[in-house]
Amino acid sequence: MKIDLERMGDPRVFRRDNGHVHIDASELHYRELNAMIKQAALDGATLMEIENVYGQRYIGSGVRLPVRIEIRGIPGNDLGAFMDGPEIVVDRNAQDGVGNTMNSGNIVVHGRAGDIVAMGMRGGSIFIRGSVGYRAAIHMKEYMKHRPVLVIGESCQDFLGEYMAGGVVVVLGLDRDPGQGLRARHVGTGMHGGAIYLRGDIDPHNLGKGVEVSEPEEADLEKLRELVGRFCAYFGGDPAEIMAGGFVKLAPRSKRPYGSLYAY
Amino acid sequence: MKSYILPEFLVERDDYRCIRCEVCVRQCAFEAHRYDADEDAVFVDESKCCGCLRCVTLCPTRALTVRRNPTQTPDNYNWTREQLMDAYKQAETGGVLLTGMGCGRELPIYWDRIVLDASQVTNPSIDPLREPMELRTWLGAKPDRLDSQGEGKRRRIEGMGPQLKLETPMMFSAISYGAISYNTCEALARAAAELGTYYNTGEGGLRRDLYKYGRHTICQVASGRFGVHADYLEAAAALEIKIGQGAKPGIGGHLPGEKVSLEISRTRMIPEGSDAISPAPHHDIYSIEDLAQLIYALKEATHWTKPVSVKIAAVHNSAAIASGIVRAGADIVAIDGIRGGTGAAPTRIRDNVGIPIELALAAVDDRLRAEGIRNRASIVVAGGFRNSGDVIKAIALGADAVYLGTPALVAMGCHVCRKCYTGKCNWGIATQDPYLSKRLNPELAARRLVNMINAWSHEIMEMLGGMGINAIESLRGNRLRLRGVGLSREELDILGIKHAGE
Ligand code: SF4
Ligand code: SF4
Ligand code: SF4
């Protein structure tokens, strides 16, 4: 397939005014669309509005400038994979692999998202208004000053935070009555770093081995207030009301979950 | 608990030769030697010796001998000494047995059962000392048909994917920083640059100091995604998705937290002191379609400028898997056989899982040819090469190039003692201890690597010349130039070669 950057000359597909770019993605292959986004970012665009997105993958990958990409429609898998810098806002649902191995930037999804959201993410932030699928935040990690953040407005499926080695995950459970716990199983299995905050409770049977449940301390609450504040700024809602729901903190007992498995 | 484990080796000191210089005491990180000033004598605790021969090699008066402990366990074909000792160790610790390097079991080594052809009378052999001989190899997808456009220097082949240019069909296998010292990584990088070939970062990321060798670097993306960052992807000449490894097919791995130092943590981009866990699968790959998705994600992230390789362990249905990998869009398929090395693997997995590379290679090459997609990806094989003879046979069986891991470490001084997982490599290779890693000087080690690969390249040229061939291209997949010796009909069929004399 050839990349048809000539379509960038077609005003029905690609329009530019000042630093703003409008792209009609309805007939574009992901390779064309992403080439346009990269080119526009290199040309100095600061805001891109992309309409009629129908499943194009990898949007935001390979763009290393702090552009804002507004997606109207449903982006395909691996939205923002390896992303390093941009801010992406999706007005509807996203699919699997949002923020896969993401490094920095921000993704805001006004609908729900599929499986492995924030897989291997090591920096930046992701806010999902609705629920997410299986294995969210799997192998999320932090290092030095980099501390990734994933905030989920509603619920998640099993294996949240599997192998998690750092970062912060918040599940607000806004789809549930207060008091009704998260139903997902195997939460935090193999977790060896970072923290998961759940609004409402969780049945200890649904936790992975080696996960410790505690009451959030003041430093945790401060972080939560900041993140809930951002959540409400994106999607509306009353931060105080959400905070009032009460949180539990999940953290690993050890940084070395498999330290005693081997015979040396 | 009293240990029932017998020392594997005896360390003997000729006291008449020993000058009490304590070199052995300082050199053995396992602390097998001890100097007692009161008695002015050097003592040894052989239970700590792993047979790496560091002390033997460095003792200035050659006073030391290390040999296998001759103590016999009761004769039993089934319960050998190794089986007994392993069982004792597990009874004493309750742990999974760990080991390093490749499987050394008595499985058939097919390279030793395959012989090469040479020209006699009917077509003249070529002397590479005086006539041109081409070892240059290009890795990457080739188009289905040759269509060219443009004129003269601007002439381009249509549909040619990005290619890697190798001056000799040998690269250095994936070995991660963390498994080996920084100096060892640097030596591999320097040697690859000097040789016009590539080394592979393994899954441990790439230290910034080595970005300057990026044009000779293949960067791996494994299930832990350690150090996989936009700069890392951009620094590489090619990317490799690691699905499996010959030494431990089907499992992930973990670098124990005590080895995750500040530098390792920066390079892998993980917290200091935490276990670095590689999950067994990539959790974004549960199917060939998902693999395609990651291949294209990497291509998109690097603007379609780099070939993407997919590395798998050689297992029973490698041929079908390789076909899927090629159809998923990989430019290179790398296959690692059961003898492939490792810094740490559970012993039972290393020794019992996977198949020999010779059979896997033949099966994969056959399958891709039969499906008419062999041109769409290059085949690189790894796991068990010991010399240039093995390499040239692999190319005749259908490989485009080989990855050398253990041979590269051996060139730098490794004695295949299998204790890499302890982090106390006395040869300064598989260690992060600054005192030990200083023992490996990157410049000298790079020289040893370059020497060895140059020598192997020359031997390959000699063998090619002997067959009357002047380019490695002409031998690639040319199985008529191979014959089997002492192999069954079935083995010959799978290898696609005739028996000697046929
Ligand atoms: S290195 Fe050799 S000479 Fe020196 S103390 Fe050891 S055995 Fe004796
Ligand atoms: S482990 Fe190596 S250095 Fe130590 S005693 Fe044995 S052979 Fe010598
Ligand atoms: S790298 Fe070091 S520890 Fe590993 S086998 Fe070689 S000499 Fe032994």
- B119 CA → ligand 3 middle, Å: 41
Nearest CA to ligand 1 atom 3: B18
Q: For the full predicted model, state whether its pTM sits above 0.90.
A: yes
Closest CA to A192 of A234, A134, A255: A255
Tell me, yes or no, whether A215 lies in a domain: yes
Q: Which residue has the tokens 């390792």?
A: B264
What CA–CA distance (Å, rounded) separates B199 from B214?
A: 10
Run of H or E residues at A119:
none
For B264-304, the pLDDT digits (tens) are 999 999 888 888 888 889 999 999 999 999 999 999 999 99
Q: Mean pLDDT across the stretch B333-354? A: 96
What CA–CA distance (Å, rounded) separates B7 from B49?
A: 8
CB contact under 8 A, B228 and A144: no
Q: Is A162 on the interface with B (CB under 8 A)?
A: yes
For B80-126, the pLDDT digits (tens) are 999 999 999 999 999 999 999 999 999 999 999 999 999 998 888 99
- Check which CATH number belongs to the domain holding A124 and give it: 2.160.20.60
Closest CA to A196 of A165, A230, A228, A161: A161
| The pLDDT value given to residue B274 | 83
CB contact under 8 A, A57 and B90: no
ipTM exceeding cut-off 0.90 for this assembly: yes
Q: Which residue has the tokens 């009909």?
A: B489
CA dihedral sign of residues B58, B63, B67, B69:
negative
Distances (CA, A) of B424 to A261, B48, B68, B427: 20, 12, 21, 9
Using CA coordinates, name the residue in chain B closest to A122.
Answer: B269
Chain B nearest-CA distance from A245, in A, is 31
Instruction: Answer yes or no: are the C-beta atoms of B175 and B340 closer than 8 Å.
Output: no
Q: Is A29 on the interface with B (CB under 8 A)?
A: no
The CB-based long-range contact list for B119-122 (8 Å cut-off, 24+ gap) reads B119/B466, B119/B467, B119/B468
| The pLDDT value given to residue A2 | 56
Q: Is the CB of B64 under 6 A from ligand 1?
A: yes
User: Where along chain B do its domains lie?
Assistant: 9-95, 137-145+159-499
What CA–CA distance (Å, rounded) separates B502 from B497?
A: 10
Q: Which two tokens stand for residue A128?
A: 């999902």
Q: Is A16 on the interface with B (CB under 8 A)?
A: no
How many domains, in total, are found in chain A? Answer: 1
The residue range of the domain holding A216 is 112-258
Question: What is the block-wise mean pLDDT of chain A (264 residues), using blocks of 10 residues?
Answer: 71 85 94 94 93 96 94 97 96 97 97 97 97 96 93 96 95 86 91 94 89 95 97 96 92 79 73
Q: Mean pLDDT across the stretch B413-429? A: 96
Q: Which of B1, B158, B234, B293 is the best mutation test for A, with the most CBs of A within 10 A?
A: B293
| The pLDDT value given to residue A101 | 95
Tell me, yes or no, whether A121 lies in a domain: yes
Using CA coordinates, name the residue in chain A closest to B161.
Answer: A1
| The pLDDT value given to residue A18 | 80
Q: Which of A141, A253, A258 is the best mutation test for B, with the most CBs of B within 10 A?
A: A141
**Which among B269, B276, B300 has the least Cβ separation from residue A34?**
B300
Closest CA to B468 of B70, B79, B127: B127
Q: Which two tokens stand for residue B181?
A: 């010292």
Tell me, yes or no, whether A12 lies in a domain: no
Q: Which residue has the higher pLDDT, B121 or B183?
A: B183
Q: Mean pLDDT across the stretch B315-325? A: 97
Q: Mean pLDDT across the stretch B349-376? A: 97
CATH code for the structural domain at B9-95: 3.30.70.20
| The pLDDT value given to residue A264 | 67
Confidence class for position B142, pLDDT limits 50, 70, 90? very high
Nearest CA to ligand 1 atom 2: B59
Chain B residues touching residue A116 (CB < 8 angstroms) = 283-284
DSSP states of B430-493: SB--HHHHTTS-HHHHHHHHHHHHHHHHHHHHHHHHHTT--BGGGTTT-GGGEEESS--HHHHH
Confidence class for position B62, pLDDT limits 50, 70, 90? very high
The helix/strand/coil state of B58 is helix
Instruction: Answer yes or no: are the C-beta atoms of A227 and A247 closer than 8 Å.
Output: no
| The pLDDT value given to residue A12 | 82
Using CA coordinates, name the residue in chain B closest to A134.
Answer: B283
Pick the CATH number of B137-145+159-499 from 3.30.70.1450, 3.30.70.1290, 3.40.50.300, 3.20.20.70: 3.20.20.70
DSSP states of chain A: ----GGGGG-TTTEEEETTEEEEE-TT--HHHHHHHHHHHHHTT--EEEEEEEES---TTTT--S--EEEEEEE--SSTTTT-EEEEEEESS---TTTTTT--EEEEEESS---SSTTTT--SSEEEESS---TTTTTT-B-BTTB--EEEESS---SSTTTT-EEEEEEE--TTS-TTPPB--SSBTTT--EEEEEEES-B-GGGBPTTEEEE---HHHHHHHHHHHHHHHHHH---HHHHHHT-EEEEEES-S-TTTTSEE-
For chain B, give percent helix, strand, coil, nearest 5.
35, 20, 45
Q: Could you say which ligand is closest to the alpha carbon of residue B45?
A: 2
Closest CA to A123 of A101, A139, A96: A101
Q: Could you say which ligand is closest to the alpha carbon of residue B102?
A: 3
- B60 CA → ligand 1 middle, Å: 7
- B91 CA → ligand 2 middle, Å: 26
> Which mutation among B19, B46, B54 tests ligand 1's pocket best, with the greatest number of atoms within 8 A of CB?
B19
- A43 CA → ligand 3 middle, Å: 51
